[in-house]
Amino acid sequence: MSPEKFVIMRHELLLTAAALMVLIVEVFSHPDKKGKVITLSAICFGLITVLGLLPSPEGELFGGMYITNAGRLMMKNILNIGVLLVFLQSADWLRRDENSEKISEYFVLMISTLIGMNFMISSGHFLMFYIGLELATIPIAALAAYDRHRNISAEAGIKLILISALSSGILLYGLSLIYGTTGSLYFGEIATVFRGSNLQLLGFIFFFTGMAFKISIVPFHLWTADVYEGSPINITAYLSVISKGAAVFIFIIVLFTVFPVIVAAWQKVIYVTSILTMTIGNLFAIRQQNLKRFLAFSSISQAGYILLGFIGGNQLGMASVIYYILVYIFSNLGAFGVVLAISNASGKENVDDYNGLYHTNPKLSLIMMLALFSLAGIPPVAGYFGKFFLFTAAAEKGYYTLVIIAVLNTIISLYYYLLIVKAMFLLKSDNPIEKFKSTWYTRFALGLCVAGIIVTGFASGLFELIRNLSFGI
């Protein structure tokens, strides 16, 4: 490969190099000094994130299996920012004694999944897509079982791997049907010969099922709550934000470039599933006491809102989806960051435990409030603008009923988000969470989240930038 080709693939190559380097450092470092792997990985990944932001040429590799352009690069960068936040938030937790042996595994596995996601986003061929998908899924199962001595964590790993095998099977079946009827796996070629016969529709539905599993769309979401609850909190955060975001990115690309012919069909599918997803997600979220489970269901309903951006098939829709994922990364990771910090300090994870948090830890409470407001879409924080654009995109194409249902759902979601705010600020507790000081890593990560929640909301140029890189059918 010529040097320019390296530049084109620099995200994947840099990440691979980083993963290998972490492994090598691990081998040669003293068992008592494993902690420095954390610093090294964080710095290294920070550098990669910054390097990724540099402009890069567009192009194709491997005969069109690998495609990159400014829009896809931006998606990768957004994921990078999210992963950086997750790394920063995990530092304290990784320093615990029980994790000291497997610090580098954490980074290697996580970077591997990120490589998978990057390949998935850059794919121009269903095989490349599938390899990326698996690379992005299987290591996560290992990560979910990271606390392998806790039964619940092991259970989460098993559940994830089994369900993902099932979904992969269905997805592959769908792909084989598409291949059988079109004779190609290249995105571009399929799009030219795809006509939407029943068999092809069936193939599409199965493909949709596979993606629905990754994005946890109802009724393919059942694994979510158990896996989210069982996994360590940072893995849950990773699953709910990065993994979901990557799947959303590639899904919208494939829908818009491969299946524009059957747009009427997939609009119906998305119409129904998005209503189901946001409603069911909300209904379950209301009843949750465990914050991880709570955030799991809230993230399911968030996926429902995101589908609203898909449905119009317009450029505004794609832009609003990408923008929403960016906002969602900051907001959800902000919420998870606080949950993680508190869980690390006190081991408490239930809503009741947060009673009176404001009196002991006012800063954390304020960050949590900001993040929850953003998730609920209260102006003027970023989440509001995110939802606003998503709903606008759907309304522009005349899906008023859907928008009204979505707005009703945001009202319901407001209720349970505010329950936590109420617990933190209004309720009193005899046994509140002790006052504690977070470490530099956590503070930095949470600071970034807060800045992100505020800045992405107010910087109107950002949305314009995303919009210029988006496309419609």
Partner 1 sequence: MVNFGYTIWILILPFLMFLLLGLAGHKLKPKLSGLLGTIGLGIITALSYVTAYKYFFTSEKVDEAFQKLTAFNSVWLQLTENLHIDIGILLDPISVMMLIVVTTVSFMVHIYSIGYMHGEKGFERFFAFLSLFTFSMLGLVVATNIFQMYIFWELVGVSSYLLIGFYYTKPSAVRASKKAFIVTRFADMGFLIGILILSFNTKTFDFITLTSLSGPAITQTGGAAFMGLSVLTWSMIFVYMGGVGKSAMFPFHIWLPDAMEGPTPVSALIHAATMVVAGVYLVARMFPIYSIAAPDALEVVAYVGAFSSLLAAVIACTQTDIKRVLAYSTMSQIGYMMLALGVSGYGGHDGLGYMASMFHLFTHAMFKALLFLGAGAIIHAVHSNYMTEMGGLRKYLPITHATFLIACLTIAGVPPLSGFFSKDEILTAALHHNKLLFAVEYAVAGLTAFYMFRLYFSIFWGKERHYHHTPHEAPLTMTVPLMILAVGSVFSGFIPFSKLVTSDSRPFESHIEMAVAIPSVLIGLVGIFVAYIMYSKETAIPDKLATTFKYSYKWAYNKFYIDEVYLFVTKNIIFRYISTPIAWFDRHIVDGTMNLIALVTQLVSFRIRGFQSGQLQKYGYVFVTGAIALAIIFVYLWK
Stretch binding partner 1 (CB under 8 A), from 31-39, 67-75, 269-277, 440-448: 269-277
Segment lying near partner 1 (by CB under 8 A), choices 10-18, 68-76, 109-117, 279-287: 279-287
451 binds partner 1, rule: CB under 8 A: no
CA 24 vs CA 27, 90, 128, 139, 408: distances in Å: 5, 21, 28, 19, 52
Q: Which listed range, 194-202, 314-322, 330-338, 427-435, lies at the site for partner 1 (CB under 8 A)?
A: 194-202
Please answer whether residues 206 and 215 qualify as being in contact, where contact means their C-beta atoms are separated by less than 8 angstroms. no
Cis peptide before 139 (omega within 30 of 0): no
- Single out the residue of 17, 20, 70, 222 in contact with partner 1 (rule: CB under 8 A): 222
Residues 29, 35, 39, 42, CA torsion sign: positive
Identity of the residue, 112 or 200, whose beta carbon is nearer to partner 1 in the bound complex: 200
Question: According to CB under 8 A, which one of 8, 67, 280, 295 is a site residue for partner 1?
Answer: 280
Matching residue, tokens 């290697």: 108
- Stretch touching partner 1 by CB under 8 A, among 65-73, 102-110, 135-143, 406-414: 406-414
Among 20, 162, 404, 451, binds partner 1 (CB under 8 A): 162
Backbone angles phi, psi at 471, to 5 degrees: -145, 160
Which of 53, 283, 426, 455 is in the footprint of partner 1 by CB under 8 A?
A: 283
Q: Which long-range contacts (C-beta less than 8 Å, at least 24 apart) are formed by 129-138?
A: 129/250, 129/254, 130/171, 130/172, 130/175, 132/250, 133/168, 133/171, 133/210, 133/214, 134/168, 136/243, 136/246, 137/113, 137/164, 137/168, 137/214, 137/243, 138/164
Residue written as token pair 């690069």: 73
What is the closest distance, in whole angstroms, from the C-beta atom of residue 181 to partner 1 in the complex? Answer: 13
Closer to partner 1 by CB, 227 or 390: give it: 227
Pick the closer one to partner 1 by CB: 17 or 162. Answer: 162
Alpha carbons 141 and 145: distance in angstroms, whole number: 6
Residue 60 DSSP symbol = E
Helix axes 263-286, 198-215, angle to 10 degrees: 30
Interface pick for partner 1 out of 45, 206, 310, 330 (rule CB under 8 A): 206
Please tell me the distance from the alpha carbon of residue 334 to that of residue 346, in angstroms, as a whole number: 18
Please, which residue, 81 or 156, has the CB nearer to partner 1?
156
Confirm or reject binding of residue 219 to partner 1 (CB under 8 A). Answer: yes
How large is the C-alpha radius of gyration of the chain?
21
User: Which region, judged by CB under 8 A, interacts with partner 1, from 10-18, 58-66, 262-270, 396-404?
Assistant: 262-270
Give Cα separations from 122 to 73, 346, 442 (angstroms). Answer: 8, 42, 32
The minimum distance between CB 205 and partner 1, in angstroms, equals: 5
Q: Does 15 bind partner 1 (CB under 8 A)?
A: no
Size of site (CB under 8 A) for partner 1: 37
- Give the whole-angstrom CA distance, residue 82 versus residue 237: 10
**Helix, coil or strand: residue 470:** coil
Binding mask 453-472 for partner 1 (x = CB under 8 A): -------x------------
Question: Distance between CA 313 and CA 305 in Å, rounded?
Answer: 15
Question: Any bridge partners for residue 68, and if so which?
Answer: 59
Min dist CB 168 to partner 1, Å, is 12
Of 15-23, 117-125, 283-291, 431-439, the segment contacting partner 1 by CB under 8 A is 283-291
* Binders of partner 1 in range 108-147 (CB under 8 A): none
Cis peptide before 55 (omega within 30 of 0): no
Residue choice 404, 408, 451, 459 for contact with partner 1 (CB under 8 A): 408
As a whole number of angstroms, the distance between CA 171 and CA 168 comes to: 5
> Which lies closer to partner 1 via its Cβ, residue 89 or residue 409?
409
Interaction of residue 282 with partner 1, rule CB under 8 A: yes
Q: How far apart are CA 144 and CA 117, in angstroms?
A: 17
CB 445 within 8 A of CB 42: no
Q: How far is the CB of 273 from partner 1 (least distance, A)?
A: 8
Choices 92-100, 282-290, 353-361, 373-381; region in contact with partner 1 by CB under 8 A: 282-290
Q: Is 154 in the site for partner 1 (CB under 8 A)?
A: no
CB of 306 to partner 1, least distance (A): 19
CB of 401 to partner 1, least distance (A): 16
- Map the footprint of partner 1 across residues 286-325, applying CB under 8 A: 286-287
378 binds partner 1 (CB under 8 A): no
Regarding 208 and contact with partner 1 (CB under 8 A), the answer is yes
Binding site for partner 1 (CB under 8 A): 158-159, 162-163, 166-167, 170, 198, 201-202, 205-206, 208-209, 213, 219-220, 222-223, 225-226, 265, 268-269, 272-273, 280, 282-284, 286-287, 408, 411-412, 415, 460
